[in-house]
Chain A
Amino acid sequence: MRLSRPAAATAIASAAVLSLALTGCSASGGGGDDEITLSITTFGTFGYEDLYAEYEELNPNITIEATNIDTGGNARTDAFTKIASGGLTDIVALEEGWLGAIMEVSDNFVDLRDYGIEDRATDWVDWKYAQGTDPAGRVIGYGTDIGPEGICYNGPALEAAGLSSDRADVATLLDGDWEHFFEVGQAYTDTTGKAWFDHSGFVWNAMVNQLDEGYYTSDGDLNVEGNSELRERFDLLAGAVAGGQSAAQAAWDWNGGKSFVDGTFAVFMCPGWMLGVVKEKVEAGGGDASTGWDFADVFPGGAANWGGAFLSVAATSEHPEEAAALSDWLTQPEQQVKQSAAAGNFPSTIAAQETLSSEATPNEFFNGAPTGAILAGRAEGVVAQFKGPDDSLIQENVFGPALQALDRKETDGEGAWQQAITLLNDLVE
């Protein structure tokens, strides 16, 4: 007993390791040549579980080994780790925000034109297809979902300022460019003494994404410092903040959700997927549907998109053809409708959008707004801007801090811009 404990322990440990190692060796990549196992990595809520089962039924020789990573942030770390170590799964979901960096190494992914993606290029909204195309013209991603932006607004807050809270009226009120948006905002702030939007970060991101060229020129050069268009927009935003329109909220916290409930701000930048976040935050803050949040079919400056993903096939995959076939099937309009029902994201294929739009299911939480139809309308006309390698970095680590300083009145517009430029020079080569 006691005498043999360490010996027994050693034996157990080594037996366990050995048997697990052996199981590992035999579990990967099946025996016969017909049996194929495809590995796929997704993140967040993709809604593919039932679809995997369906595909396996339709294709009995295919087994799908899925991995879902909880958050986009962790998924990014996972994807980058696997690219760096050459160990991507057969199919990887890529987020729109990573594309800037990924496009530099797009050779890690198969050119889907070899598998007939061009034949269905018109399935998608044109800018989505363009986003998935690298500078050399190779198409590396089947578009899955998108995040067309509308404006979430708080009905009671607008009413308190003497404005109509009817969805169509709000759409008319806010229709126009950013200058107009901030004019309305200033009027609101002057009347009620409250802030118009929650914080500058999301507003700035939308403003930048709508430009033909953002932080980089379409040739791939960094274009921030001398960029007069960018500076113009920044000054516009800075003016609005100076006028008190920003509630200087901490993004993703919003005072534990309470700011959504106590009228701290009236409008909110809402891509389709953000609707779920708003609902959760309102509930966390002690509110519910009666708090009065609604969704208007309008966005300053026209169409805008935030987020979305693609399914890509890794170049290291041993079964690129089958992987491409699976990805293709998963992103067919029919499947995208099922995905949307399961996960609540908005599809990127036009046919799927039309289905959702025609169903026009009212969203209870948002005052019965037909969110599907609204988002379908907002999906047209988005600019497929060139995203450079450090686009994400500039958005998060350069302008993020500068705008927070601006919001908190630690500096003025000029100071914030200079702060951004300094950070840019320090962080980006």
Chain B
Amino acid sequence: MSTTSLTLRQRLSRLDVKASPYAYIAPFFVLFGIVGLFPLVYTFVVSFNDWDLLKGPGEWVGLENYVNVLTDRFFWNSLGNTLSIFFLSAVPQLFFALVIAAVLDQNLKGRTFWRMSVLLPYVVSPVAVTLIFSSVFNEQDGLANNLVNLIGIADIQWKHDVAASHLAIATMVNYRWTGYNALILLAAMQAVPRDLYESAALDGAGPIRRFVSITIPSIRPTLIFVVITSTIGGLQIFTEPRLFDVSNAGGIGGSDRQFQTAVLYLWEMAFFRRDFGEASAIAWLLFLLIVGFALLNFLVSRRIASTELRSAQRKASRALLENSRAVRLSGRITAGAVESRSDR
């Protein structure tokens, strides 16, 4: 082993360490550069022009489209609807997704069956969903009103009352996405080392305590993921309000825009009012709003971590390392050990 070949190997290895990360993330950015960037820049430029959808580009108007949107009462109406539907959907959804994931995390009989059953709502075809929920929320004799009548309340105007329509749409959204988010959380929960629970149980912690102090902090990054993606998705709700009202084809979300969300408003502006410039402005304003909101939710959910757990985790990973070192010393390669363990 001459000194020159060592340094060559060292140099290659250092190059490997330095350059590989960029190579690994490159596919996303290359693809984005090709198909993602152009639409973004395009709509950005359009938002500064007087641009009719059919007639094409007009003249440069600077921020006029943005000002028009911000002074448009329908825009603020749609924002209000969006936020209302968002809260009604995101909060219960997150809660139920956590509970369901926790329930599914156990040693159930027929595990795969139960776990996949929560995903079934996601694959029901939109046709069926529309027909069913339209029928359930039928104002004259739908299931929802029948149930409500049983407890003595009069028929609720699901498609005409603002609050009721938001509730109905939030229900449709939650129905579709709760199982989806539950599975994401479940995947993360499954990776929590079981012996953390065992040692906590030995210390006398009950199931709720274990859930709050061990599970939730352990899955924090994935929890943050679900919070952020639900926030982003929730503020972009579009298909449900669009399908909920068959009577108004103009994309106005109810006869009086009772449930016109921001994206639906964007849609109306682009394809019915054919004002591409203002629609693009709405898209970018929405982007700012969503980023702001997501950031807020991120900062809030970051606070979910307890220091006591962190030390337990450190203990567990130290034990892991000890074990792998011991295995290495006994002659087996680390890779093989990991492989055999994950076969279980």
Given A101-B274, A396-B272, A401-B256, verify A251-B246 contact (CB < 8 Å): yes
Contacts of A231 in B (CB 8 A): none
User: Is B193 engaged at the interface, CB distance under 8 Å to the other chain?
Assistant: no
Report whether B249 and A73 are in contact in the complex, using a CB–CB cutoff of 8 Å: yes
Residue-wise interface mask of A (59-97) relative to B, using a CB-CB cutoff of 8 A (1 in contact, 0 not): 000000000000001001100100110000000000000
Q: Kindly provide the distance from the CB of B154 to the nearest chain A CB, expressed in whole angstroms.
A: 16
User: Is A105 engaged at the interface, CB distance under 8 Å to the other chain?
Assistant: yes
Choose among A104, A108, A256, A390 the residue with the greatest number of B CB atoms under 10 Å from its CB: A256
Residue of A101, A104, A400, A427 near B255 (CB, 8 A) is A400
Report whether B248 and A104 are in contact in the complex, using a CB–CB cutoff of 8 Å: no
In Å, the complex CA distance between A400 and B271 comes to 17
User: Is A15 engaged at the interface, CB distance under 8 Å to the other chain?
Assistant: no
Interface members, chain B 308-344 (any A CB < 8 Å): 339
Residue-wise interface mask of A (235-250) relative to B, using a CB-CB cutoff of 8 A (1 in contact, 0 not): 0000000000000001
Interface size band for A: 20 to 34
User: Is A426 engaged at the interface, CB distance under 8 Å to the other chain?
Assistant: yes
Contacts of B140 in A (CB 8 A): 255, 258
Residue-wise interface mask of B (220-258) relative to A, using a CB-CB cutoff of 8 A (1 in contact, 0 not): 000000000000000000000000001111101001110
Report whether B250 and A400 are in contact in the complex, using a CB–CB cutoff of 8 Å: yes
Contacts of B73 in A (CB 8 A): 426
Report whether A104 and B138 are in contact in the complex, using a CB–CB cutoff of 8 Å: no
Report whether B54 and A102 are in contact in the complex, using a CB–CB cutoff of 8 Å: yes
Contacts of B259 in A (CB 8 A): none
Residue of A83, A400, A408 near B160 (CB, 8 A) is A408
Residue of B72, B250, B274 near A80 (CB, 8 A) is B274
In Å, the complex CA distance between A76 and B257 comes to 21
User: Is A253 engaged at the interface, CB distance under 8 Å to the other chain?
Assistant: yes
Contacts of B54 in A (CB 8 A): 80, 83-84, 101-102, 104-105, 108
* Residue on B nearest A403 in the bound complex, by CB: B255
Q: Kindly provide the distance from the CB of A395 to the nearest chain B CB, expressed in whole angstroms.
A: 9
In Å, the complex CA distance between A401 and B255 comes to 5
Residue of B56, B135, B138, B248 near A396 (CB, 8 A) is B248
Contacts of B255 in A (CB 8 A): 400-401, 404-405
Residue of A80, A101, A250, A256 near B159 (CB, 8 A) is A250
Report whether B273 and A427 are in contact in the complex, using a CB–CB cutoff of 8 Å: yes
Residue-wise interface mask of B (112-140) relative to A, using a CB-CB cutoff of 8 A (1 in contact, 0 not): 00000000000000000000001100101
Q: Kindly provide the distance from the CB of B250 to the nearest chain A CB, expressed in whole angstroms.
A: 4
In Å, the complex CA distance between A397 and B53 comes to 18
Report whether A401 and B55 are in contact in the complex, using a CB–CB cutoff of 8 Å: no
Q: Kindly provide the distance from the CB of A168 to the nearest chain B CB, expressed in whole angstroms.
A: 34
Q: Kindly provide the distance from the CB of B234 to the nearest chain A CB, expressed in whole angstroms.
A: 24
* Residue on A nearest B73 in the bound complex, by CB: A426
Contacts of B48 in A (CB 8 A): none
Contacts of B138 in A (CB 8 A): 253, 255-256
Report whether A393 and B250 are in contact in the complex, using a CB–CB cutoff of 8 Å: yes
Given A80-B53, A102-B54, A250-B247, verify A405-B252 contact (CB < 8 Å): no
User: Is A164 engaged at the interface, CB distance under 8 Å to the other chain?
Assistant: no
Contacts of A102 in B (CB 8 A): 54
Report whether B252 and A401 are in contact in the complex, using a CB–CB cutoff of 8 Å: yes
Residue of B55, B247, B271 near A105 (CB, 8 A) is B55
In Å, the complex CA distance between A212 and B252 comes to 29
Report whether A252 and B271 are in contact in the complex, using a CB–CB cutoff of 8 Å: no
In Å, the complex CA distance between A186 and B271 comes to 40
Contacts of A400 in B (CB 8 A): 248, 250, 252, 255
Contacts of A253 in B (CB 8 A): 134, 138, 246-247
Contacts of B246 in A (CB 8 A): 250-253
* Residue on A nearest B270 in the bound complex, by CB: A80
Contacts of B272 in A (CB 8 A): 392-393, 396-397
Report whether B256 and A405 are in contact in the complex, using a CB–CB cutoff of 8 Å: yes
In Å, the complex CA distance between A84 and B39 comes to 14
* Residue on B nearest A2 in the bound complex, by CB: B339
* Residue on B nearest A84 in the bound complex, by CB: B53
Residue-wise interface mask of A (1-22) relative to B, using a CB-CB cutoff of 8 A (1 in contact, 0 not): 0100000000000000000000
Given A252-B247, A397-B248, A405-B256, list of 13 further CB < 8 A pairs?
A: A2-B339, A80-B54, A83-B53, A102-B54, A108-B54, A255-B138, A255-B140, A258-B141, A397-B252, A400-B252, A401-B255, A401-B256, A404-B255
Interface residues of B (CB under 8 A from A): 53-56, 72-74, 134-135, 138, 140-141, 159-160, 246-250, 252, 255-257, 268, 271-274, 276, 339
- A selection of 13 A-B contacts at a CB cut-off of 8 Å is A76-B271, A77-B271, A84-B53, A101-B54, A102-B54, A250-B246, A251-B247, A392-B250, A393-B273, A397-B268, A408-B160, A426-B72, A427-B273
